[in-house]
Copies of this chain bind each other. A is one copy, B any other.
Amino acid sequence: MKEKHNTREVILQTATRLFQRQGYNGTGLNQIIEESGAPKGSIYYHFPNGKEEIAIEAISMMRKLVLEGAEKDLTGKDSAAEAFEYYLNNVAAIFDLKSCIDGLSIGLIASETAFTHEQLRYSCEMVFKDLQSQHAQILMQYGFDREQAEELGITITAMIEGACILSITYQDGNPLRRIAKQLSLLLKRSQETQGEKQNGNE
């Protein structure tokens, strides 16, 4: 069975893309079927619990895409400030191309389902927590202490999410680029202040 699971993967990839672009409520199964080329029977064969099950797996795929994309851009730089600025500028470049926005943001599906689909809300919460952790880990690798890294982790997660929404709305990478600079400054200053605090203790 050379193509085993291929239909399932195609459905999932199409759904992931469409859910990120239009949201859960704005994406119908028929659109997923058309754009993936998968037969309707296969949707329920592979995802017996229906649309919600597809969405939960799509959120999982978004998580993987976002974490991997960020990891790739955030490591191997001279400082946290440089790393996060580089990452956000890469995300901005994707918006400029107006191309596929997979793996950039989960804010849409998170906020639209928060009051109406508890399982999806919970899945998104877990992804956001993973993103916060990733950011905090990266900051610690660049020398931040744990407490500050954690507070900055959640702040960075929010900033990136908010910046993506602005760029999506403006259909332009410019908001992300401007916010990348401010995030860079924020990180530089935070690290300087941490340095002073450590010197002060000695």
Contact = CB atoms under 8 A, between A and B. Distances in A.
Nearest to A158: B162
A163 B158 contact: yes
Contact of A25 (B26, B168, B182): B26
In the complex, the count of this chain's copies comes to 2
A155 B182 contact: yes
A114 B169 contact: yes
B165 A158 contact: yes
Interface stretch (A46-54, A64-72, A73-81, A170-178): A170-178
Contacts of A193: 189
A110 to B, nearest CB: 4
B23 A112 contact: yes
Given A107-B165, A121-B169, A169-B121, A175 B158 contact: yes
17 contacts: A22-B25, A23-B23, A23-B111, A23-B112, A25-B26, A26-B112, A105-B111, A110-B168, A114-B171, A154-B175, A155-B178, A155-B179, A157-B166, A158-B162, A161-B165, A162-B162, A189-B189
Interface of A: 21-26, 105, 107-108, 110-112, 114-116, 121, 124-125, 128, 151-152, 154-155, 157-163, 165-166, 168-171, 175, 178-179, 181-183, 185-186, 189-190, 193
